[in-house]
Structure 1
Amino acid sequence: MASAPDGNGYWLVSAAGQVHAYGSAKHHGDSPDSYRGTIVDLAATPDGSGYWITSSSGQIFSYGSARHHGGAARSGSDPVTGITSTPTGEGYWQVVADHQVSPNGDARFFGTLLLDEAYDRKYPSFTGTVGAWGGHTNGRIPSSLLCRVERGDHRLRCDAATALLALDAAFREEFNETLRVTDTYRSYDGQVRTRGRWCQQRMCYKAAIPGTSNHGWGLAIDIGSGVNSFGTPQHEWMRQNAGQFGWIHPLWAQQGGSNPEPWHWEFTGTG
């Protein structure tokens, strides 16, 4: 539902994508017949001359004067549940069921419920810590204590996942593309397999000894999107800005380090 600018009307959208305009609100179109998931919400431009419709899968459909700025960079299978416009009408925020917020256009990221006091009270023993946390061993952390990031089953400790979402929002604002994640939490068995693959190539040093990797704490990521090559504008941007969001490029992974990996970054906390 969205209100008309003069307060004398509103729009309602059905789960099938039909838009119903009442009072002073003007109809600008219905969603197409083909979309993923269900239609969940509508947001109007500030002057009411257009609106956006969002599906649960994060798709955006634009009508009237509303401009398309991309869909939600959501995590895993959690559905998008809502959308609201920025004051300028040049962007919007989409809300995901796991409390993530996905900014698009000129919308900025300001935080999510994952960082509020309730979350800190729920997990007081490890929020913001580096290394071992929660009383679990490396690579054997229950999935219920990890939060999904990107698509697929990539997971991180929840404060790291939220910080990555903020970093991604800033990256998208700079480069107009999502920060693509290729690896995150790595189970102990996964670490064994990764080490084994490198050892078969006589390059065991390319992977940590199983049970010692920061991937096993849900505090390390491997990323692409140009960051995975030294000297690119994307990599240089990360070097200059990732620290604001609690992410660092460890010395051993830097150019000239003992095992250069431009794609590997680790979370040290935002406190």
Structure 2
Amino acid sequence: MGSTGHRLWAPAAEKLTQLIAGAAADGVTVGITDSYRSYEAQVDVAERKGLYKNGGLAAVPGTSDHGWGMAVDLSLDGKAQTWMREHAGEYGFTEDTLVNRGTGGTTADRDGPLTSGGGPPIEGVQGPTDGPGRQYAAAGL
């Protein structure tokens, strides 16, 4: 994606580029912390952060939307998170959290650093020491 070094599926990359420009036009900064991840990289994440089914933060390798280039982890301050919740859908993205997935978590998870899927299990690599952020997945593109 441009000069960021991040990669996504082409339609998702195009929409994310538009989303970031739209946010910037509103005075909001949306940063990218992670995007496409190879199978090998997913194996590494699963080994370091553990699998969802064991209370960890990673999907089983081969099941992550990151591996399809359809998920992106974002660095968002409070203003950016509010903007994303209001506008992400306009660009074809949905917030991926335990609460939104309906598979666990509490409403407190929506405002904390931990993020995860929105369909089949999708890892959120924003851990407690990684700072604030959210995972968004391309939906309806």
Task: Give TM-score scaled by structure 1 length.
Answer: 0.38
2:89 aligned with 1:218, yes or no? no
2:59 aligned with 1:208, yes or no? yes
Distance in 1, matches of 2:97 and 2:71, equals 14
Aligned residue type for 1:248:
T
Instruction: Give structure 1 stretches of 5+ with no counterpart.
Output: 1-73, 77-150, 227-231
Percent of matched pairs sharing the same residue: 34
2:135 aligned with 1:264, yes or no? yes
Match of 2:8 in 1: 156
Distance in 2, matches of 1:160 and 1:220, equals 9
Instruction: Give structure 2 stretches of 5+ with no counterpart.
Output: 110-114, 116-132
Match of 1:245 in 2: 91
The answer to whether the Cα contact below 8 Å between 2:96 and 2:134 also exists between their aligned partners in 1 is no
Distance in 1, matches of 2:140 and 2:81, equals 20
Structure 1 residues 257 and 224, CA gap change in structure 2 (3 angstroms): farther
Deviation readout 1:124-164 (Å, 9 max, x if unpaired): xxxxxxxxxxxxxxxxxxxxxxxxxxx12x10000000000
Structure 1 residues 194 and 251, CA gap change in structure 2 (3 angstroms): closer
Distance in 1, matches of 2:80 and 2:46, equals 28
Aligned residue type for 1:169:
A
Match of 2:81, SS state, is helix
Shift, 1:253, TM fit = 5.5
Task: Report how many residues are paired.
Answer: 114
Distance in 1, matches of 2:102 and 2:139, equals 22
Going by fraction, where is helix more abundant, 1 or 2?
2
Structure with larger Rg: 1
2:35 aligned with 1:75, yes or no? no
Q: Which consecutive segments of 4 or more residues in structure 1 shift more than 4 A?
A: 253-257
Distance in 2, matches of 1:265 and 1:253, equals 13
Distance in 2, matches of 1:225 and 1:159, equals 22
Match of 1:243, SS state, is helix
2:120 aligned with 1:193, yes or no? no
Match of 1:182 in 2: 33
Shift, 1:225, TM fit = 3.4
Shift, 1:234, TM fit = 1.5
Aligned residue type for 1:186:
R
The answer to whether the Cα contact below 8 Å between 2:35 and 2:73 also exists between their aligned partners in 1 is yes
Match of 1:248, SS state, is strand
Deviation readout 1:61-120 (Å, 9 max, x if unpaired): xxxxxxxxxxxxx713xxxxxxxxxxxxxxxxxxxxxxxxxxxxxxxxxxxxxxxxxxxx
Match of 1:265, SS state, is strand
- Bigger relative contact order, structure 1 or 2 (CA pairs below 8 A, ≥6 apart): 2
Shift, 1:236, TM fit = 1.4
Distance in 1, matches of 2:61 and 2:20, equals 29
RMSD: 2.5
Distance in 1, matches of 2:28 and 2:83, equals 13
Structure 1 residues 187 and 168, CA gap change in structure 2 (3 angstroms): same
Query: 5 Å matches for 1:1-271?
Result: 75-76=2-3, 151-152=4-5, 154-177=6-29, 179-199=30-50, 204-226=55-77, 232-250=78-96, 252=98, 254=100, 258=104, 260=109, 261=115, 263-270=134-141
Match of 1:169, SS state, is helix
